[in-house]
Structure 1
Amino acid sequence: MSRITVLGLGAMGSRMASQLLAAGHTVTVWNRTPDAAEALVKQGAFHARTPREASAGAEFVIAMLRDNDASRHVWLDREIGALSGMAAGAIAIESSTLTSGWIQELGTHMQHARVALLEAPVSGSRAQADARQLAYLAGGEEEVLERCLPLLRVMGSSVHHVGGLGHGALAKLATNAMLGIQVTGLAEVIGLLERNGADASRVLAAMAGTSVWPPVAAYLSGSMMTENFAPQFPVALIEKDFGYTLEEAGSAENAPTIAAAHNVFQRAATRGMGDRNMTSVVRLFTEKRD
């Protein structure tokens, strides 16, 4: 069994730590708000006060954080940063959804500290994390990935090596962009059907029998039609990811469809939907207006 640190105990990080504990690993956790660690401590985790303290003695340090700024602070802060607590030869696993440029920069810092970096963002949400069905989109050296595989397979059902450092970030952003485009497309279609007096549920059921219906559409449309907007992937987070995707694209002109979908999530966020599930954007198209 390995000594593992998990930094960031949000919806995904807490579930990853729980799976590692269940598999018998020694797990130390840290979160910006300490209360988030209480349930994991009851399961047997150790709680550290800072990322630096948490990473001391760890063979693997996994981060699941909100964005580039949080990643930079947690890894590199001069006083409390995790990298300053890691021993040479340890492995850092960055599972947050970030930009490729930041991942490459972080890799340089890790190299100087003689710490290996694997980027391992995941596709999947809370249900997949609970069921150990996350799909990893890994970037980095194959040798480093091989050393991490036993841990990743505790939390996920598939691991895809997509290239060097930065390519995992691109793969994750591309995946989320495709998901978000499907969300906005379905939301617009439902609004179109309802405004024209059609039975949206019946039409969607018919569409589900055609080749245009992707597997995720059953969940997305079901959430929209029942207005079940409990956060699995909140609007605020996917809006952030779309911003990163457009940054990678270079301009909205290079990715006009992605830019249009981004605009939908921005509108939803300004209307107070940021904490709701991404599928709540359907209300932009179905709510009656005077």
Structure 2
Amino acid sequence: MSNITVLGLGAMGSRMAARLIAAGHKVTVWNRTGRAAQPLVDLGATLAASPRDASQGAEFVIAMLRDDEVSRFVWLDPECGALAGMSPDTVAIESSTLTSGWIQMLGAQMQHQRVSLLEAPVSGSRLQADTGQLTYLIGGDAQVLERCRPVLGALGSGIHHTGALGHGALTKLATNALLGIQVTGLAEIIGMLKRSGADASHVLAAMAGTSVWAPVATYLANTMLAENFAPQFPVELIEKDFGYVLNEAGISRDAPTIAAAHGVFQQAMAQGQGAENMTSVVRLFTARHAPGEADS
């Protein structure tokens, strides 16, 4: 069993740490607010006071953080950053959803200190994290990946090596963009059906029997119809990811569909839905009109 550090104990990081503890690994954790660590400490984890302290003596350091800015602080802060506590034998595993440019910069910083970086963002949400069914979208050296496979295998059921550092970020951002486009498309369709007086559940069930229906669409449609917006993938996080995607695209006219979907999530944010599940954007289209009422 390995000595593993987990940095960031949000909805995903806390579940990953719990899986590693259950698999028998020695786990050290750090979170900006220590209160989130208590359930893991109760399971046997050690709580560290800083990322630097947490990474000392670790074989693998996994980060699951909000964005580029937080990732930069947690890894590279000169006083308490994790890199300052890592030895050349340690492998850094960055599982946050970040930009490819930042991942490449982080990899260069780590190479200067002879620390290996594996880029390992995941596809999947809280259920997949709980059950060890995450899908990894790997960027980095193939030999480093082979060293990490036993750790990643405790957390995920699929490992896809996409290429060099930065390619994993591009793959994750592309995946989330396609997901978000499907969310906004279904939300608009449900709004159209309800305004037309159709039974949206019956229409969508018929659509589900056609070749255009994506596997994730059943989950998306069901949560929209049930108005179950308990956060699995909050609006505020997918909105952040869309911003990253558009930065990668360069200019909006090269990604007009992505830009339009981003606008839907921005509108939901403006209406106070940031902490709700991404499917809550359906409210933008179902609360607008009564059945049969059209724009004037």
TM-score of the two chains, using structure 1 as the length reference? 0.99
Q: Which residue of 2 aligns with 1:48?
A: 48
SS in 2 for 1:212: coil
- Indicate conservation of the 8 Å contact 2:224/2:280, yes or no: yes
Deviations 1:57-83 (A, max 9, x none): 001000000000000000000100000
How many Å separate the matches in 2 of 1:88 and 1:186?
Answer: 48
How many Å separate the matches in 1 of 2:42 and 2:114?
Answer: 34
Task: Give the aligned length.
Answer: 290
How many Å separate the matches in 1 of 2:261 and 2:68?
Answer: 22
How many Å separate the matches in 1 of 2:51 and 2:117?
Answer: 16
1:178 aligns with 2:165: no
Q: Which residue of 2 aligns with 1:7?
A: 7
1:289–1:208 Cα change, 3 Å: closer
The letter for the 2-side match of 1:185 is G
CA RMSD after TM alignment: 0.7
The letter for the 1-side match of 2:125 is S
SS in 2 for 1:179: helix
**1:41 Cα offset (Å):** 0.2
Deviations 1:171-227 (A, max 9, x none): 000000000000000000000111111111110010001011000011000000000
How many Å separate the matches in 1 of 2:201 and 2:88?
Answer: 57
How many Å separate the matches in 2 of 1:107 and 1:204?
Answer: 45
Matches within 5 A, 1:229-248: 229-248=229-248
SS in 2 for 1:72: helix
- Indicate conservation of the 8 Å contact 2:195/2:289, yes or no: no
Structure 1: which 5+ residue stretches go unaligned?
A: none
Deviations 1:101-155 (A, max 9, x none): 0000000000001100000000000001111100000000000000000000100
SS in 2 for 1:136: strand
Matches within 5 A, 1:51-90: 51-90=51-90
- Greater Cα offset, 192-201 or 133-142: 192-201
1:139 aligns with 2:139: yes
TM-score of the two chains, using structure 2 as the length reference? 0.97
Q: Which residue of 1 aligns with 2:294?
A: none
SS in 1 for 2:20: helix
Q: Which residue of 1 aligns with 2:293?
A: none
Q: Which residue of 1 aligns with 2:127?
A: 127
Matches within 5 A, 1:138-287: 138-287=138-287
Structure 2: which 5+ residue stretches go unaligned?
A: 291-296
How many Å separate the matches in 2 of 1:89 and 1:169?
Answer: 24
Q: Which runs of 4 or more aligned residues in structure 1 lie more than 4 Å from their structure 2 counterparts after TM superposition?
A: none
The letter for the 2-side match of 1:183 is V
The letter for the 2-side match of 1:276 is E
SS in 1 for 2:158: strand
SS in 2 for 1:268: helix
**1:89 Cα offset (Å):** 1.8
SS in 2 for 1:138: strand
The letter for the 2-side match of 1:50 is S
The letter for the 2-side match of 1:39 is P
SS in 1 for 2:154: helix
**1:289 Cα offset (Å):** 5.0
1:16 aligns with 2:25: no
